[in-house]
Amino acid sequence: MESTPIHVVLADDVQLFRKGICFLLERDEELVVDYQASNGKELIAYLRTSKLPDVVLTDLNMPELNGVEATKIIHKEFPDLKIVALTSYNSKPCILNMIHLGVSCFLPKNVKPAELISAVKEVYHSGFCYSNEVLKLIHDDFMHKGKHVKCDFDKSYLTSRELEVLELICKQFNTSEIADILCISPRTVEGHRNNLLLKTESKNVVGLVTYAVRNNLLNFLN
């Protein structure tokens, strides 16, 4: 049975790079590039007037409207849309800023082609794609860099099963895989995911991951 194609919209002001990324993505039979924007303004205009893609892949440094500002608008108007930031600015402050804005994945422009394709697919299936290094970066930012985020997490607030599902989500397992691991149905997994979203007041999976990191719930980071 043929798999459902993953629809991607790409934004980058460098035409040669943009065309190259498009060619690379569409060599994979699962990926389809619906539109190429040369700046954030074109990207937002397309999203407002066309069928939403599954994943947005955007540069940060663009004219007219840069990727950071475009991400803010997208997160506000289309909170469920998954965004992959692809940029040469891979400093710690930049990574943290984009994650706080709600990007599902942060990749440097010198990433290997196979890693880019894998990340796009992972974001589509799991809602995000953060390496353990990035998760630890988020953890350190919350816990050790003077933010003094108040942690009022009550261990009884989430059930043991919800905690199990949350950790598996953060390990980037999809619904079917979580169901197999826990020996429950995919529908039950979705029920736990929805409960987690409600209890943590998160809009999407990225919010769940941030919540888990902020409250030190991820055993594999310790």
**How many Cβ atoms sit within 10 Å of the Cβ of residue 203?**
13
Q: Which is higher by pLDDT, 50 or 200?
A: 50
Q: Which is higher by pLDDT, 81 or 93?
A: 81
Long-range contacts of 135-138 (CB under 8 A, 24+ apart): 135/170, 135/209, 135/213, 135/218, 135/221, 136/221, 137/92, 137/95, 137/96, 138/96, 138/99, 138/209, 138/210, 138/213
Single-letter code of the amino acid located at 101: L
Whether the per-residue pLDDT at 90 is higher than 80: the answer is no
Whether the per-residue pLDDT at 154 is higher than 80: the answer is no
pLDDT tens, residue by residue, 97-120: 888 788 899 888 888 999 999 999
pTM of the model: 0.74
